[in-house]
A and B are shown apart, each in its own frame.
Chain A
Amino acid sequence: MILTVAHRTTYRYDAPIRLAVQSLRLTPSVFDGQVTERWSAVVEGGERGPGYRDGAGDWVESWSLRGPADAVAVVVEGQVETRDLDGLLRGHRELVRPPVYLRDTPSTLADVMLTDFARDVAGSESEALAQAHALAAAVTDAIAYRPGTTAAHTTAAEAFAQGEGVCQDHAHALIAAARVVGLPARYVSGYLLAGEDGTAHEAAHAWAEIHVGALGWVGFDPANRCCPDARYIRLSSGFDAQDAAPIRGIAQGAGSESLEVAVAVAAAQQ
Chain B
Amino acid sequence: MAEEIFNEMYDGGTVRDIYASLEDWTTAMPGDLRQMKQAEAEALFRRIGITFAVYGEGGDPDRLIPFDMFPRVFSQDEWRRLERGIKQRARALNAFLVDVYGRGEIVRAGRVPGHLVYRNEAYEKAVVGFVPPKGVFSHIVGIDIVRTGPTDFLVLEDNCRTPSGVSYMLENREIMMRMFPELFRNARIEPVDAYPTLLRRTLASVAPERCEGEPTIAILTPGHFNSAYYEHSFLADQMGVELVEGPDLFVEAGRLWMRTTEGPKRLDVLYRRIDDGFLDPLCFRPDSMLGVAGVMDVYRSGGVTIASAPGAGVADDKAVYTYVPEMIRFYLGEEPILQNVPTWQCARPDDLGYVLDNLGELVVKEVHGSGGYGMLVGPKSTAEQIASFADLLRAHPENYIAQPTLALSTCPSFVAEGVAPRHVDLRPYCLVGDKIELVPGGLTRVALREGSLVVNSSQGGGVKDTWVLAE
Contacts and interface: CB of A to CB of B under 8 A. Distances in A.
Interface in B435-453: none
Interface stretch (B180-188, B246-254, B406-414): B246-254
Please report whether the interface of chain B is mostly helix, strand, loop or mixed according to DSSP.
loop
B114 A52 contact: no
Given A23-B297, A49-B303, A97 B104 contact: yes
A102 interface: yes
A204 interface: no
B404 to A, nearest CB: 32
Interface in B229-281: 250-255, 281
Interface string B117-160: 01101010111111000000000000000000000000000000
Nearest to B107: A97
A221 B123 CA distance: 28
B282 interface: yes
A102 B104 CA distance: 17
B286 interface: yes
A64 interface: yes
Most chain B CB within 10 A, of A22, A56, A95, A102, is at A95
A37 interface: no
Contacts of A249: 282, 293
Given A95-B102, A103-B119, A55 B301 contact: no
Contact of B125 (A51, A64, A100): A100
A246 B302 CA distance: 21
B129 A95 contact: yes
Nearest to B114: A99
Interface in B351-374: none
A100 B123 contact: yes
Interface of A: 19, 21-23, 47-56, 60-62, 64, 66, 95-97, 99-100, 102-103, 238-239, 242, 248-250, 252
Given A23-B297, A56-B128, A238-B125, 17 more contacts: A19-B252, A23-B282, A23-B296, A47-B254, A49-B301, A50-B301, A54-B126, A55-B129, A62-B254, A62-B301, A64-B251, A96-B128, A102-B119, A103-B119, A239-B125, A248-B283, A249-B293
23 contacts: A21-B282, A22-B294, A23-B282, A23-B283, A47-B252, A49-B254, A49-B297, A52-B300, A54-B129, A54-B300, A62-B251, A62-B294, A62-B297, A64-B251, A64-B252, A95-B102, A95-B128, A95-B129, A96-B129, A97-B107, A100-B123, A103-B119, A249-B293
